[in-house]
C-alpha cells in the first residue's frame, strides 16, 4: 500500500504522519511527506524500516522502493499467504 492510501484509510494528515515518524526517531516534515507522495523525492532506503514500523507493516519497503526491495507481491499472492 502506498503512503497516500495508508494515510487516507487511517485518516492521518501528512503533518500527523510526519509527527509519527519524528516521534519514532526518523525526523520528517509535512513537506517531506508530500515530496515522497508526489514522487519528487524517493524515500531513502534507510527510512523504510521506520515507515514500516509506524504503519504497522501496512506500507512495505516494496511498496515504497521496489527498485531496492523488489516489486510488491501480486494481489492474488497476498491473498493466498
Domain ranges of the chain: 3-80
Sequence-distant (6+) residues with CB within 8 A of 34 are: 14, 40
Q: How confident is the model at residue 74 (pLDDT cuts 50, 70, 90)?
A: confident
Domain 3-80 has CATH 1.10.260: yes
Burial of 51 (C-beta count, 10 Å sphere; 0-12/13-18/19+): buried
pLDDT-above-90 percentage for the chain: 85
Q: What integer pLDDT is reported at residue 77 of this predicted model?
A: 52
| Distance in angstroms (rounded) separating the CA atoms of residues 70 and 27 | 26
Amino acid at each position: 500500500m502506498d503512503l497516500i492510501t495508508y494515510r487516507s484509510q487511517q485518516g492521518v494528515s501528512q503533518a500527523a504522519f510526519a509527527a509519527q515518524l519524528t516521534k519514532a526517531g526518523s525526523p520528517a516534515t509535512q513537506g517531506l511527506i508530500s515530496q515522497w507522495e508526489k514522487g519528487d523525492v524517493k524515500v531513502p532506503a534507510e527510512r523504510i524500516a521506520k515507515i514500516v514500523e509506524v504503519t504497522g507493516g501496512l506500507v512495505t519497503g516494496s511498496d515504497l522502493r521496489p527498485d531496492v526491495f523488489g516489486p510488491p507481491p501480486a494481489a492474488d499472492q497476498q491473498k493466498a499467504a
